[in-house]
Chain A
Amino acid sequence: MTEISTAQPIDAASAPTSGQRIRAGTQVYMYVSLIIVAAIVVVPLISTALGGFKTLGELRGNPFGLPTEWQWSNYTDIIISKRYWLQMSNSLIIALLTVFLTLTFGAMAAFCFAHIRFFGANHLVNYFLIGLMFPAATAILPLYIRIRDLGLIDTYWGVVLPQVAFGMGMSIMLFRNYFRNLPSELFDAAFVDGCGYMRFFWHITLPLSRPIIATVGIISFVGSWNSYIVPLIMLNSESRYPWPLGIMIYRGEFSTEWQLVLAFITLTILPTIIAFFLAQKHIIAGLTAGAVKS
Chain B
Amino acid sequence: MKTDMFINMAYYILYIFYSLKYNIIFFCNNHQVDLSKMESVEGFRKEQ
Do A and B pair up? The answer is no
B binding-site residues for A, Cβ under 8 Å: none
